[in-house]
Structures are given as C-alpha cells and as structure tokens.
Amino acid sequence: MGISNYKKQPPINKKGYTLIEILVSLSVIGIIFSFGYASFRDFSRRQAIADTAKMIQGDLRFAQQNAIAGQKPEGCGASNTLESYSFNIIRAAAPSEYSVEANCGGTPISVKDVSIPGISLSIPSPNPLKFKVLGQGTNIGDADWILTVSREVTGDRSTTVTVTSGGEIK
C-alpha cells in the first residue's frame, strides 16, 4: 500500500464563450432588430402621410388667405378682376398631384403645382375647391369637402383633410 504522490490538479479556468452562446445571442439580436425595423418602417409610412396632409392644409390656407386678401398673383393684370383661388386635384390614373390656381378674369393662373410620389389623393366633390375673394366663401355648399390622403401602394393607412362649409380647414 503505497502512498501515491498524486496531487489533485486545480480546475482549469477557461475564459470565453462557446459557439452555442454566440449563436443564441446573435439570434436574439436579430429578432429584436427585425421588430425594430418593422416598427420604424410603419412609423415612416405614417409620417409620410401625416406630412403630406400638413402640406396640403398649408396650401389650402395659402389659397384661402390670398383669396380673402384679394392678393393678385403675378400675371394677373390690373384690368383683370381676381375671382377666386382654386385648389385642384389633377385627375390622373393615380391622383397624386394638385395645383393652386388664381382665377383672374376668367383665366386660371398657376400659382403652385405639387406632385407627391407614393401618395394617393381622393378626388372630393367639388373639384376644384374654390375660395372666393374678399371673404365671399367657397363653392362647397352645405356639406364638408373631405380629401383622403393614403399610401399609393398599400392604401392601409390614411388620413383626411377637411374643409367645412364655413371655410375652416382641419
């Protein structure tokens, strides 16, 4: 019975990560990134529609204020009478264009033309919407004028721009 000189070695402390641990962490990061990207894409689509609606509201207010003030655009001679400013959605296969025109002596004078790629605009009635000069109202009548702004491709998200019969732009 001999006594052995066998000494127990202390456990070797290995540092680092295993391949499985790295793959699991990369998978979790990939899943989190995909959810974040989908949310960002949805957010950017909503923002594009909201920005377009704000731009349209601004152009409607521009036409309304110029009509109320009786502001003649360049090209409307002194002898011509300013009748109204019009907001006209251009009828096309996919309406995404509109113009602001001054109706000066029976002749339309283009003030602003806008094309919005990737956005679809409904064509409300009446088209064009006219703001008459010096606070004489609009050509809407008793019903509200409602314009729907949506994505051209998906059409799943939309917002509306409304002009009431009293001329309020919402």
Residue-wise pLDDT for 126-170, tens only, equals 989 999 998 888 999 888 999 999 887 765 688 999 999 888 999
Task: Supply the pLDDT for residue 5.
Answer: 63
pLDDT digits (tens, 9 = 90+) for 2-53: 556 666 776 777 788 899 999 999 999 999 999 999 999 889 888 989 999 9
Q: What is the C-alpha to C-alpha distance for residues 63 and 157, in angstroms, rounded to an integer?
A: 27
Task: Supply the pLDDT for residue 117.
Answer: 87
**Tokens 């003649």 sit on residue:** 72
Cis, bond preceding 73 (omega within 30 deg of 0): no
Q: What is the C-alpha to C-alpha distance for residues 151 and 170, in angstroms, rounded to an integer?
A: 20
pLDDT digits (tens, 9 = 90+) for 53-99: 999 999 999 999 999 999 999 888 888 899 999 999 987 656 689 99
Q: Distances from the Cα of 18 to the Cαs of 27, 28, 141, in angstroms?
A: 14, 16, 74
The three-state secondary structure class of 112 is: strand
Contact 129, 145 (CB under 8 A): yes
The four Cα atoms 161, 166, 167, 170 give a dihedral, to 10 degrees, of -30
Give the neighbor-by-neighbor strand order of the sheet with 119-121.
119-121, 145-151, 158-163
Instruction: Say if pTM beats, i.e. exceeds, 0.85.
Output: no
**In whole angstroms, what separates CA 102 from the centre of its chain?**
25
* Side-chain-facing half-sphere of 19: CA atoms under 13 Å: 0
Task: Supply the pLDDT for residue 154.
Answer: 65
